Chains A and B, each alone.
Chain A
Amino acid sequence: MGARKIYLDNNATTPCDPRVVEAMVPYFFEHHGNAASRSHPFGWEAEEAVDYAREQIAKLLDADPKEIIFTSGATEADNLALKGVYEMYARKGNHIITTKTEHKAVLDTCHRLEKQGAEVTFLDVQADGLIDLAELEAAIKPNTILVSIMWANNETGVIQPMKEIGDICAKHGVLFFSDATQAVGKIQTHPRELGIHLMAFTAHKMYGPKGVGALYVSRKNPRVKVTAQMDGGGHERGMRSGTLNVPGIVGFGKAAELAMKEMDQDAARLSRLRDKLENGFKQLEEVYVNGNVEHRMPHVTNISFKHVEGEGLMMTFNQEIALSSGSACTSASLEPSYVLIALGLGDDLAHSSLRFSLGRFTTEEDVDYAVEAISKGVQHMRDLSPIWEMYQEGVDLTKVEWSEH
């Protein structure tokens, strides 16, 4: 017991690849300079390292290195994109379109902008998690300045039709921002090719270190600008002040280089393991995969085990297997996952869901072990579950008069 530790929560954060760590180490002591110090070799070395990392990241995005603005992470990049565009383009309009299944870093930023006078449309998604393109186009108005739609959803892995959204934005002359945190480094993400003007992402979801992220900002056709959200030394072409996190950025660059090299083989291997995981649960009754299974990330699956509560289920194996639940009880809010609710899942199915996110270091043995342990856990929890008993007796659970609390 407890000897085995299996990590299937790579959408929360990925381990930092040892090759990334190795690249970072010299930049803590040996080359500790401030990249903004222009007058001595310590600064030059740091600047050179940052420039190199910027190139590595730009290559991954098929972008110009000058289009990469370093931040502290994806949350900051999301804030900078939304608030920065809202301020910079205030003369053109105040309307932003986004979706109900965005990450909180986008949703809460939009809510703040609403308080400051923005008009925000939160699009519904369909039962498979995809947006309705006609609905998006119909929502665009003369005062629309920005469409903000995530590339891949963190809970379901569902990938939005980025090219089609980009075309709609281009047709109407509206900026397109994407929170691509879960996509960059795992699938091809070339913003220019798809008509994306701003894109947020972070190192620690792609086997890099925590505490460093970036915002891609298109430099030509169109040249996009965002108003800085922090005042200071005017770093990052005036869009993001603050001394650069040189070791973090070096690691981010290395992670991007590795992702570019290994993306295809990682994706192929992980989608096979993911399918194996899903198939492994097929022997259990009343198991549902949430979200579109065609348009989704290769390493993610979100599964509801009906009549079992997610957090309780996790307790049967969480000493050995790490993953996330869409159940209310994992957070202090007591509300089940708003993403799954937006897909139209009942609260009961949302409470019964687990999110599996595999990664570069997941092995086939990990998956086999997880299937066995979790299946046992589901069985155990169903033996404890009064609603499973009622279901087996043929009681129509929708007709029971529950006492809500």
Chain B
Amino acid sequence: MAYSNKVLEHFKNPRNVGTLDKSQKNVGTGLVGAPECGDVMRLQIEVDDATGTIRDAKFKTFGCGSAIASSSLATEWLKGKSVDEALTIDNMDIVEELALPPVKIHCSVLAEDAIKAAIADYKKKNGIEVAAEVATA
């Protein structure tokens, strides 16, 4: 199966790989997927307390090229957005941007889940009410 150039580009030069200090109150961490399923994504956001915008975002992903590209793209999109804006990122936006084939749509779903989980973690740490359906791992 051939990958799109955008997937290849993110795979070769992944953006924002790394780890934020999860003990910080303004850092939210989302860990989704399972090694048994062949995909694990950890996505972290660091929120600027004064402005409420996402100042930094980092990821590490165990998975195929599409999973890595999806999480790399997600971190790019997250930076500079407010927490509530970030919640509007939809997996289909990722599918479109990266031209993911149908068998790889689950990678984008996982990236959306990771975003939601990171935000939920941040909100929980800061006493902000969390939408009920999302859980952090």
Q: Are A and B part of the same complex?
A: yes
A-contact 0/1 string along B54-74, CB 8 Å cutoff: 000000111111011000000
Contact (A315, B31) CB under 8 Å given A308-B62, A384-B60, A385-B60: no
Number of A-B pairs whose CB atoms are under 8 Å?
100
Are the C-beta atoms of B33 and A405 separated by less than 8 Å? Answer: yes
Known A-B contacts A386-B61, A386-B62; A351 and B109 likewise in contact (beta carbons under 8 Å): no
- Give the residues in chain B near A308, CB-CB below 8 Å: 62
Collect the chain B residues with CB atoms within 8 Å of residue A327's CB. Answer: 38, 64
A403 and B137 contact, CB distance less than 8 A: yes
B32 sits at the interface (CB 8 A): yes
Query: Complex: how many Å from CA A389 to CA B33?
Result: 16
Which of A87-95, A258-266, A290-298, A328-336 is near enough to bind chain B?
Answer: A328-336
A400 within 8 Å of B (CB atoms): yes
Closest 4 A/B residue pairs (Cβ): A402-B34, A348-B35, A347-B36, A386-B42
Bound-complex Cα distance A385 to B67 (A): 11
Give the dominant DSSP class at B's interface: mixed
Complexed CA–CA distance, A397 and B34 (Å): 10
Q: Which residues of chain A come closer than 8 Å to B65, judged between CB atoms? A: 311-312, 315
CA distance in complex: A327, B39 (Å): 11
Question: Is residue A102 contacting chain B, with contact meaning CB distance below 8 A?
Answer: no
Q: Does A309 contact B (CB under 8 A)?
A: yes
C-beta contact mask, A182-193 vs B, less than 8 Å → 1, else 0? Answer: 000000000000
Interface size on B, residues (CB 8 A): 33
Answer whether residue A285 sits at the interface, using C-beta atoms and an 8 A cutoff. no
Tell me if B131 is interfacial: C-beta within 8 Å of chain A.
no
Check B36 against A402 for contact (C-beta < 8 Å): yes
Q: Is B50 at the interface (CB under 8 A from chain A)?
A: no
User: Which residue of B is nearest A316, CB measured?
Assistant: B11
**Which chain B residues have a beta carbon within 8 Å of chain A's beta carbons?**
3, 8, 11, 14, 17, 19, 31-42, 60-65, 67-68, 103, 106, 109-110, 113, 135, 137
Contact B103 A332 (CB under 8 A): yes
> Which residues of the other chain, A, contact B103 by a CB distance below 8 angstroms?
332, 334
14 residue pairs bridging A and B, Cβ less than 8 Å apart: A309-B67, A312-B67, A327-B38, A328-B37, A347-B36, A348-B35, A351-B35, A383-B17, A386-B31, A387-B35, A402-B35, A402-B36, A403-B31, A405-B33
Residues of A within 8 A of B (CB): 307-309, 311-312, 315, 327-329, 332, 334, 336, 346-348, 351, 381, 383-389, 397, 400-405
A387–B135 CB distance below 8 A = no
Contact of B64 among A309, A348, A385 (CB under 8 A): A309
Rounded to whole angstroms, the CA-CA distance of A311 and B113 in the bound complex is 22
Q: Is the CB of B36 within 8 A of A386?
A: no
Are A346 and B41 closer than 8 Å at their CB atoms? no
Query: Which residue in chain A gives the minimum CB-CB distance to B117?
Result: A403
Cβ of B40 and Cβ of A405 under 8 Å apart? no
Interface residue from B37, B60, B61 paired with A405 (Cβ < 8 Å): B37
Residues of chain B with a CB closer than 8 A to A384's CB:
14, 17, 60-62, 68
A404 to B33, CA, bound (A): 5
Partner pick for B33 among A328, A329, A402, CB 8 A cutoff: A402
